[in-house]
Each structure stands twice: as C-alpha cells, then as structure tokens.
C-alpha cells in the first residue's frame, strides 16, 4: 500500500497542515485495507486446497476480503468439529466455519450464527437453489449458511484400461461385480481399493445399505428411529456384503487416508474404488483425465439414486463486527461463476439448478441431473452429517468398523447393538430436522 508507506516514511518531517493531511491519508488507507475472515474447515488434500484457494482468490480479487485459513486435517470433519467447539467455548470463534447437515440446526438454535436472510432474498436463492439444498440451510425460518457444493457418495470409480485389457465392462449390479472382481483377481489385479479407517469403512457401508434397502427404507431407518427396523433382512444383507467385499481388497486392509488411497488408485494399484466424488477432484488434480484414465458410475444397485452430502459455510455472529464481509462472502460463494470454478476443483457439483450441465464432466452431469429429479431419489449421507445427529452417526461408524475388522462379530450382533442404541436415543431427537 504505497500511500501508507509514503505517509509513514515522511511522518517524522511533516508539520502543520501537511502533517494532518498525511495522517488523514494513512487513516483512510488503513480503514480501506482488506478485511480478514478466519475460515475454519477440513479441506487439506491437494484438490481440496485447490478448491479453497479458488474461493480465497475470488474473495480477495472481487471483494477485497482476505481468507485467513484455519484448515484442520481429518476426513469427514472429525477433527474440525472438535476444534470449532473448543474455539467457541474459549471465546476465539472463527468468523466462518464449515457446518453441515443437522449440526447446523444445533448451532443455529444456540443463536451463534449470522442470519443470511437478506443475502438469500437479494440473490433469489429460493429459485436458484435445489429445494433440498434450500431446506438444509434454513433453521426456524432463517437462512443460516451458504451452500457451496453437492457431493455424491454412492460413486464407483474404475480404470477403463484395466477392465478393457481383461475384456470387462464396469459392473451395473452385484452379480456382475463379483464376476468382474474374480476375473481381475485371477489376472493379478486388485479388484477394489479400500482403507480400514473407520469413516471410510462406514462410507462404503452406507452405499451398500442404500443399495440393499432403497431410498424409502434407508430414510426410515434414520427418521423414524424404530429399533426393530434395524433387524430388517436388508440391513443384514448390506453388512454381509460389506464383509464379502473384503476378499477383493489387498490383505490386510490397513488404515490409510483417503488421499493415499487416491494416489494408489491413480497408479493403477486397484481397478475399482467406492468413494464420494471428492475423489474425482483429487484424481483430476493428479492429472488424470475423466472418461479415459478413470471413469465413474453409480454403486451397483443405486443407479438413478443420489446419496448426498452438501458442503456449507456458516457465519459466526460474534459481535457482528464483520457482518458486511461475511455477507459479501456468502453472496460470492453461491454465485454461478464461483460455483462452477470451485466445484470443478472439489469434485462436487453446483448447488444451483440454473447452471448449464453441459459445462460439467460426465460424472458431474450424472450427479447433478440425478439429484435434480427430487427427493424421491435423494438419500442423505449418514457418515457425512446429512442424515442424523452426531450420536447416531458415531454409533453406526463404530459398530460397522468393529464388524469390518473382526470377523468373529456377526451381522445379527451388529443389528442388535444398533437397535439397542436407537432405543436409547429415540427419545433424544428434539426438534432436529432430518431431510425427507
């Protein structure tokens, strides 16, 4: 800022009106300096950093806002939520925080979040956003967050060349999957990439659960909180399929971050991988080309269904000293230009229904169009904080992980444990909103 530097450089020699004038310039220049927003999130992989940098650059160039990064490592936001709670309790809350799903309701009801009603009205979010997205960010009639990206969890990635070399096509159902996996394994190719990290195991399971139960029963399991629903034979089949898939993975299945799994898949160490579409962003950031070096389809049994998670940012109210910058950030993040640029890097798709799907790659177009068919094909993610509260989410992850790593644990035992947990929690739903 040259004015500020020059004024300071001559301050010792100024006198009278000249000194007053230079001091005034300094004050004005300082007041106009870019305001910083402390942004807490959990985007730390290569593609996630690129996506965050896309947002930060746009805010700096277009709104003169400095994105002060507070990234907390840890898949599924496990670490970030703990840090957020700690900072709020200690009186050092960030200005902006990644808050998603029903947890947004909890924070909103405490009166900790800035209402973005004026921004939503000015930007016509009611018409621009998908209805489900709009409902996710509204609490007690107020808009409390800005949505930035829509992720599809039930995605199966495959390496076209590896399958083509064996004369195979990507599997559309589980019978085809078994045949493809068996032939790949006979050829010395690992059929399925996987980590034993708890949230990654549970992410695989929720896709299998949706595949076996369908959208209606999947939602009922989490909305009605009836213990007996967890004894449904379809839940048992999902658990049994989870265990049976282990034979197509490298043994032992070790804990690796999803970024490490992505690099392994990019090297061709496995032919297929089931993971949310943030993986697509990571693979593209490594230089892989969609439809040629890798491609994606829905997990078998979930064609035409969207298991979703939505990235949203909430503005912490504090003393309202940064409301102008927070509202400017919300406007920018939901605008079409930044929606396209950010989601291209992140692997997700825009939360707006008024974009041109022709600018998306094949994976993105299918995700966006499927979600746009409405609530009948939409299923909220358990693991990624869309479907239920933290207690139920954590219980499901813990029980599924235990079942995955210990072959002595039976499926019926997991069902019984989950039913018991639901019974304990069924009177603790309060007014939480679970997406329909």
Please write down the HEC assignment for all residues of 361-399.
Answer: CHHHHHHHHHHCCCHHHEEECCCCCCCCCHHHHHHHHHH
Residues 259 and 283: their CA atoms lie apart, in Å, by 9
**Which residues sit opposite 97 in a β-bridge?**
40, 314
Per-residue pLDDT of the chain (436 residues; tens, 9 = 90+): 333 333 333 334 444 444 434 333 333 333 345 699 999 998 999 999 999 999 999 999 999 999 999 989 876 667 888 899 889 888 889 999 999 888 898 899 889 999 999 999 999 999 999 999 999 999 999 999 999 999 999 999 999 999 999 999 999 999 999 999 999 999 999 999 999 999 999 999 999 999 999 999 999 999 888 999 999 999 999 999 999 999 999 999 999 999 999 999 999 999 999 999 999 999 999 999 999 999 999 999 999 999 999 999 999 998 888 999 999 999 999 999 999 999 999 999 999 999 999 999 999 999 999 999 999 999 999 999 999 988 999 999 999 999 999 999 999 999 999 999 999 987 654 434 434 4
The dihedrals phi and psi of 220, each to the nearest 5 degrees, come to -65, -35
Query: Which residues contact residue 66 at a Cβ distance below 8 angstroms, ignoring those fewer than 6 apart?
Result: 34, 35, 36, 37, 59, 60
User: What is the per-residue pLDDT for 100?
Assistant: 87
The whole-angstrom separation of Cα 141 and Cα 147 is: 16
Nearest to 71 by CA among 89, 54, 53: 53
Provide the residue count of the chain.
Answer: 436
CA distance linking residue 28 with residue 257, whole number of Å:
48
What are the tokens at 40? 């807490």
Residue in the structure block whose two tokens are 């600018």: 359
Q: What is the pLDDT of residue 116?
A: 98
Among 305, 279, 307, 306, smallest CA distance to 294 is for 279
Q: How far apart are CA 317 and CA 321, in angstroms?
A: 9
d(CA 40, CA 43): 9
Give which of 228, 258, 222 is closest to 395, Cα–Cα.
222
* Domain 155-305+378-425 superfamily per CATH: Periplasmic binding protein-like II (3.40.190.10)
Structural domain boundaries in the chain = 1-33, 35-152+308-361, 155-305+378-425
Cα separation, 136 vs 126, whole angstroms: 12
Q: So what's the pLDDT on residue 428?
A: 56
Note the CATH architecture for domain 35-152+308-361: 3-Layer(aba) Sandwich (3.40)
Question: pTM for this structure?
Answer: 0.89
């Amino acid at each position: 800022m040259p004015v500020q530097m020059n004024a300071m450089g001559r301050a010792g020699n100024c006198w009278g009106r000249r000194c007053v004038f230079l001091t005034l310039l300094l004050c004005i220049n300082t007041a106009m300096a870019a305001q910083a927003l402390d942004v807490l999130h959990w985007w730390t992989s290569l593609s996630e950093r690129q996506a965050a940098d896309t947002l930060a650059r746009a805010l700096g160039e277009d709104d003169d806002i400095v994105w002060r990064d507070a990234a907390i490592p840890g898949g599924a936001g496990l670490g970030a939520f703990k840090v957020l709670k700690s900072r709020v309790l200690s009186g050092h809350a960030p200005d902006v925080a990644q808050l998603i799903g029903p947890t947004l309701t909890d924070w909103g009801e405490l009166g900790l979040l800035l209402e973005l009603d004026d921004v939503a009205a000015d930007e016509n979010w009611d018409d621009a956003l998908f209805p489900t997205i709009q409902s996710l960010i509204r609490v007690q009639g107020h808009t409390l967050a800005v949505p930035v990206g829509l992720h599809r969890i039930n995605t199966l990635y495959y390496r076209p060349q590896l399958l083509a070399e064996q004369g195979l096509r990507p599997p559309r159902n589980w019978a085809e999957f078994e045949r493809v996996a068996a032939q790949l394994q006979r050829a010395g190719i690992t059929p399925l990439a996987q980590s034993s990290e708890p949230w990654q195991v549970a992410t695989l399971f929720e896709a299998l659960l949706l595949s076996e139960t369908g959208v209606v029963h999947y939602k009922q399991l989490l909305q009605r909180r009836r213990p007996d629903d967890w004894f449904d034979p379809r839940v048992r089949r999902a658990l049994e399929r989870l265990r049976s898939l282990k034979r197509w993975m490298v043994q032992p299945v070790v804990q690796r971050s999803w970024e490490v799994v992505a690099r392994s898949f990019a090297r061709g160490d496995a032919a297929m991988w089931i993971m949310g579409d943030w993986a697509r962003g990571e693979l593209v950031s490594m230089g892989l080309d969609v439809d040629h070096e890798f491609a994606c389809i829905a997990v078998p049994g979930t064609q035409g269904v969207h298991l979703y998670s939505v990235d949203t940012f909430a503005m912490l109210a504090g003393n309202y000293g940064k409301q102008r910058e927070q509202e400017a950030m919300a406007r920018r993040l939901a605008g079409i230009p930044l929606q396209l640029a950010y989601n291209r890097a992140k692997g997700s798709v825009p939360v707006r229904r008024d974009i041109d799907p022709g600018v998306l790659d094949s994976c993105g177009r299918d995700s966006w169009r499927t979600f746009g068919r409405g609530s009948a094909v939409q299923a909220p993610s358990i693991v990624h904080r869309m479907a239920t509260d933290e207690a139920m989410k954590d219980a499901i992850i813990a029980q599924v992980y235990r079942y995955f790593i210990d072959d002595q644990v039976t499926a019926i035992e997991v069902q019984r444990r989950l039913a018991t947990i639901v019974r304990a929690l069924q009177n603790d739903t309060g007014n939480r909103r679970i997406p329909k």
